[in-house]
């Protein structure tokens, strides 16, 4: 099969299209014929040599939509695979998820989308339903071979059927971004109707999902992006959009809120915006961090933290129940994954270059 692969860490130039062996599913897995796969900033970190243990040579890609090709040992292809309790043949809701099973009736030939989280199912956190806190937690395409290829193997329990007619590019663009945004805003920050939120880095996949989710909840949304994307972020539902190349967003937000600030800040930028986001949080506000694209180390003025009694919390990925809940809203059209471009797999290096340069708005999707 063809795959976008790299043999050493480095810039986009290390990515090449090569012929590699088609993977065989292990026990509890299925092999998918990839129909669409989306890139994330995670792919850049892995390619650069993020200090993790990963497979080499490496195939990236955490977000995958595909068709079930072959089932591995222990996967019953004659009956429902990972049937969610009471779900029948429809899409599982959070209330219908039982244990770590999610996907109803995932049979060969069915089109599915993948939850990219990988967990042990045995540790304390898995037993509590907190899969992203698993002591052996991994992510498809980061710690394992991913979906930027013609075929990929994934756990059968991680599959969710894609409704007939739903665009495959959007299905592939949804999982990592929407599950991360949903957990950050709903599971961690517990954002409420009538509250206010600031979303930084608003041209990225998670941020574009977060703007939509915040509007769905009924919050007032402030966002920070660059001039090229101001109109697009506003079109997603942001009430106020700041062009970080022209204004100091923290000063402008303080002015716009009468010095109050916002109830929640969702930040992935890290070091470069840390002072501004901390200053933008209201008293008893919540600062939720899900990334650090400009660097993982930031200075913190503890006086601002305790005087305003701010809660700082981290978040990453989501539980199975959260994944099912947000994907239902995606498939119903309540939330819409933003697709920047759709290119053939052969353009994987160019896709890395576009993402590296920050030229995209939303997700870059590749199709084999």
Residues 231 and 345 reside in one and the same domain = no
pLDDT of residue 268: 85
Residue 346 domain-assigned? yes
| 3-state SS class at 222 | strand
pLDDT of residue 297: 83
Helix (H) / strand (E) containing 342: strand 339-344
State the sign of the Cα–Cα–Cα–Cα dihedral 344, 346, 350, 356: positive
Residues 257 and 345 reside in one and the same domain = no
Residue 319 domain-assigned? no
Residues 166 and 54 reside in one and the same domain = yes
pLDDT of residue 107: 63
Beta carbons within 8 Å of 177's beta carbon, 6+ residues apart:
40, 63, 204, 205, 206, 208, 209, 337, 363
pLDDT of residue 89: 30
Round the CA-based radius of gyration of the chain to a whole number and report it: 20
Residues 113 and 208 reside in one and the same domain = no
Q: How far is CA 201 from the centre of its chain?
A: 14
Structure tokens at 339: 């697709």
349 CB-contact burial (10 Å; exposed 0-12 / middle 13-18 / buried 19+)? middle
Residues 218 and 299 reside in one and the same domain = yes
pLDDT of residue 77: 54
What is the number of domains present in the chain?
Answer: 2
Residue 165 domain-assigned? yes
Residues 192 and 303 reside in one and the same domain = yes
Q: What are phi and psi of 8, to 5 degrees?
A: -150, 160
Q: What pairs with residue 225 in β-bridges?
A: 243
Residue 188 domain-assigned? yes
Residues 100 and 170 reside in one and the same domain = yes
- pLDDT by residue for the chain (368 residues), tens digit each? 999 999 999 999 999 999 999 999 999 999 999 999 999 999 999 999 977 778 899 999 999 999 999 989 988 654 433 333 222 233 333 333 333 344 444 467 789 999 999 999 999 999 999 999 999 999 999 999 999 999 999 999 999 999 999 999 999 999 999 999 999 999 999 999 999 999 999 988 899 999 999 999 999 999 999 888 999 999 999 999 999 989 999 999 999 999 999 999 999 888 888 888 999 999 999 999 998 777 788 888 888 889 899 999 999 999 999 999 999 999 999 999 999 999 999 999 999 999 999 889 999 999 99
Output the domain CATH number for residue 341. 3.90.180.10
pLDDT of residue 90: 32
Residues 69 and 193 reside in one and the same domain = no
Residue 322 domain-assigned? no
The domain in which residue 289 lies consists of: 179-314
Structure pTM?
0.89
pLDDT of residue 338: 94
Residues 170 and 192 reside in one and the same domain = no
Residue 130 domain-assigned? yes
pLDDT of residue 155: 94
pLDDT of residue 83: 31
Residues 197 and 300 reside in one and the same domain = yes
Residues 44 and 149 reside in one and the same domain = yes
Residue 107 domain-assigned? yes
Give yes or no for a contact between 184 and 208, defined as CB atoms under 8 angstroms apart: no
Residues 44 and 139 reside in one and the same domain = yes
Residue 321 domain-assigned? no
């Amino acid at each position: 099969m063809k795959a976008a692969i790299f043999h050493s860490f480095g810039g986009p130039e290390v990515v090449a299209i090569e012929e590699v062996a088609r993977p065989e599913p292990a026990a509890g897995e299925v092999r998918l014929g990839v129909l669409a796969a989306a890139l994330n900033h995670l792919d850049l970190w892995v390619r650069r040599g993020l200090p993790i243990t990963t497979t080499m040579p490496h195939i990236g890609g955490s977000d995958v939509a595909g068709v079930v090709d072959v089932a591995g040992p222990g996967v019953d292809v004659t009956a429902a695979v990972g049937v969610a309790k009471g779900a029948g043949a429809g899409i599982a809701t959070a209330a219908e998820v039982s244990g770590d099973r999610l996907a109803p009736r995932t049979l060969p030939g069915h089109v599915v989308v993948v939850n990219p989280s990988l967990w042990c199912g045995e540790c304390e956190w898995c037993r509590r339903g907190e899969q992203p806190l698993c002591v052996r937690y991994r992510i498809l395409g980061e710690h394992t071979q991913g979906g930027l290829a013609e075929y990929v193997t994934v756990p059968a329990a991680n599959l969710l059927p894609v409704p007939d007619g739903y665009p495959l590019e959007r299905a592939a663009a949804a999982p990592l971004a929407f599950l991360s945004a949903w957990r950050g805003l709903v599971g961690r920050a517990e954002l409420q109707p009538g509250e206010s939120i600031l979303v930084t880095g608003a041209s990225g996949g998670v941020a574009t999902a977060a703007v939509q989710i915040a509007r769905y909840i009924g919050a007032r949304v402030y966002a920070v992006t660059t001039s090229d994307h101001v109109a697009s972020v506003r079109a997603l539902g942001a009430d106020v959009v700041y062009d970080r190349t022209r204004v100091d967003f923290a000063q402008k937000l303080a002015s716009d809120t009468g010095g109050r600030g916002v109830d929640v800040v969702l930040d992935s930028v890290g070091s470069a915006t840390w002072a501004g986001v901390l200053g933008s949080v209201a008293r008893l506000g919540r600062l939720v961090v899900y990334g650090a694209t400009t660097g993982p180390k930031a200075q913190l003025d503890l006086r601002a933290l305790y005087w305003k009694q701010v809660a700082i919390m981290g978040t990453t990925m989501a539980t199975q129940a959260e994944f099912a809940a947000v994907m239902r809203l995606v498939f119903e059209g309540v939330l819409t994954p933003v697709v920047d471009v759709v290119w053939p797999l052969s353009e994987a290096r160019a896709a890395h270059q576009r993402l590296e340069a920050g030229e995209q708005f939303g997700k870059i999707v590749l199709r084999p």
